[in-house]
Amino acid sequence: MGLRDRSRHQRNHRRYDLLADTSRQWRLLDLQALDTRLSQIAHRRATLPELAELVELDAQASSLDGDLVRAQTALGDIQREIVKADTDVQLVRERSARDQARMLAGQGTAKDMQALQHEVESLANRQSALEDIELEVMERAEALTAEVSRLKAARAQLTTRVDELNALRDKAFAELDTEVAEIGRSRADVVAGVGEDLVGLYEKIRDSSGGIGAAVLRQRRCGGCNLELNQVEMNRFTAAAQDEVLRCEECRRILVRTSESGV
Ligand SMILES: [Zn+2]
């Protein structure tokens, strides 16, 4: 063996130090397909549109709750203002009624009568002004009552939608969980068929290669990184025994040969 051959032999030995018959290698592709599906399910679980909408609605609910508390507080304040305005009007009315009764009774001097007359007129003006205030306060109360009703209705609508979304999310999760459980059962069989040594290598590569540990060699192209193999690599693969576990020179993933590999 010349220096050049020995060097190539050592390199080959280092690269392809695992042997596994073709049926085990093909089972490895089944394993990869199951794991890819598991990754898709995990991704689907994390990115369900219902989850994003629930986060959005949660923010809306907090904002609505804040608005509702403020509107209810303002309404409470204004209701106290109405009571006060009403009391003020009532006091003026009573006083006016008393003055008028005294005038009707005709007790006191002409000057007293004149003073009473003057007060009754001034009380009438005061009552009119207080009633204007009361009216304005009642209008504000009406607007706030409408606002509280509107906010309560919006909040109720939001709660209904949140309940719907929670139900949709739970249903989607349950379906995904069922599929995960089914895959888990198949996976155990496939793992047994692939064998511990090859599964070990595959897992190691998969962890460091974005979830893809094994790929098909299809028409001279690595199904993992999608790069085309050069001629030197192709020659090496063509010469390799069927049970040699090949690795992509570029991405180091396990490459499984099939009838479409071109080697
Ligand atoms: Zn590759």
Per-residue pLDDT of 57-85, as tens digits, reads: 999 999 999 999 999 999 999 999 999 99
Cα(197) to centroid of ligand 1, in Å?
A: 21
Cα(12) to centroid of ligand 1, in Å?
A: 17
Cα(221) to centroid of ligand 1, in Å?
A: 8
Cα(53) to centroid of ligand 1, in Å?
A: 38
Cα(219) to centroid of ligand 1, in Å?
A: 13
Residue 17 has what pLDDT?
Answer: 67
Cα-Cα-Cα-Cα dihedral sign, residues 251, 252, 258, 263: positive
Cα(228) to centroid of ligand 1, in Å?
A: 8
Cα(190) to centroid of ligand 1, in Å?
A: 23
CA distance 261 to 263: 6
Residue 9 has what pLDDT?
Answer: 47
Cα(36) to centroid of ligand 1, in Å?
A: 16
Cα(255) to centroid of ligand 1, in Å?
A: 8
Cα(249) to centroid of ligand 1, in Å?
A: 7
Provide the phi-psi class of 253: left if phi over 0, else alpha when psi is between -120 and 50, else beta. Answer: beta
**Three-state helix/strand/coil letters over 228-242:** ECCHHHHHHHHHCCC
Cα(191) to centroid of ligand 1, in Å?
A: 23
Helix ranges restricted to H, the chain:
3-15, 22-46, 49-105, 110-194, 196-208, 231-239
Average pLDDT along the chain:
93
Q: How does residue 16 score in pLDDT terms, banded at 50, 70 and 90?
A: low
Q: How does residue 161 score in pLDDT terms, banded at 50, 70 and 90?
A: very high
Q: Give the length of the chain.
A: 263
Cβ pair 206, 217 in contact under 8 A: no
Examine the pLDDT at 10 and tell me if it is beyond 80.
no
Cα(227) to centroid of ligand 1, in Å?
A: 6
Indicate where the chain has its CATH 1.10.287.1490 domain(s): 49-185
| Complete DSSP assignment for 190-217 | HHHHH-HHHHHHHHHHHHHTTT--EEEE
Q: Which tokens sit at 49? A: 């549109």
Cα(131) to centroid of ligand 1, in Å?
A: 86
Whole-Å CA distances, 138 to 65, 70, 78: 24, 18, 8
Residue 43 has what pLDDT?
Answer: 97
Cα(236) to centroid of ligand 1, in Å?
A: 15
Nearest to 220 by CA among 257, 178, 173: 257
CA distance 238 to 245: 13
Cα(46) to centroid of ligand 1, in Å?
A: 28
CA distance 193 to 246: 18
Average of pLDDT values for 118-132? Answer: 96
Q: What is the CATH number of domain 49-185?
A: 1.10.287.1490
Cα(193) to centroid of ligand 1, in Å?
A: 24
Average of pLDDT values for 209-213? Answer: 96
pTM score, whole prediction: 0.76
CA distance 58 to 73: 23
